[in-house]
Amino acid sequence: MRSQLKLVGLFLMALLTIVGCSNNKHPNLVEMGKVKNIEVMEAQKSRQNGFLVIKVAVENTSSSNQNINYRFQWLDDQGFPVGNEENWKSKLIYGKQKTFINSIAPMMEATDFRIEIQEP
């Protein structure tokens, strides 16, 4: 029984590795519909007074200015959502520019996040 559990665990780890390698999107990004020419470059997490602080680098790869809507979903240490759903926020990203989206979790229980992005 114990060896079967180890085998299942190894299989799941291999599967997650394969899925992770085939996806070149940022792991914390959820696109709500097709979002063209916007790439999440990196995300930094830190703690400030016990609250999770996020700084996400976003780049507009086109030469045209583009508006996006975004919101954060705050997750606990098991990956489940905590707190209320945030309202959508809007951000203008100039053509061929990189900008940052910053946020602070509204509750101390948040240990991770997901950023949802959509075109208006």
Query: Tell me, what's the pLDDT at 3?
Result: 54
The 10s digit of each residue's pLDDT in 29-52 is 999 888 899 999 999 999 999 999
Tell me the whole-structure pTM to 2 decimals.
Answer: 0.76
43, 71, 19, 5: CA torsion to nearest 10: 100
55 Cβ contact list (under 8 Å, min separation 6): 43, 44, 46, 100, 101, 102
Q: What is the mean pLDDT of residues 74-80?
A: 95
Task: Give the chain's length.
Answer: 120
Domain boundaries, the chain: 26-118
* CB contact at 8 A, 38 and 96: no
pLDDT band at 87 (very low <50, low <70, confident <90, very high): very high
- Please provide the average confidence, as pLDDT, over all residues in the chain: 85
65 Cβ contact list (under 8 Å, min separation 6): 92, 93, 94, 95
**Topology (CATH) of 26-118:** Immunoglobulin-like (2.60.40)
Residue given tokens 């997750």 in the structure block:
75
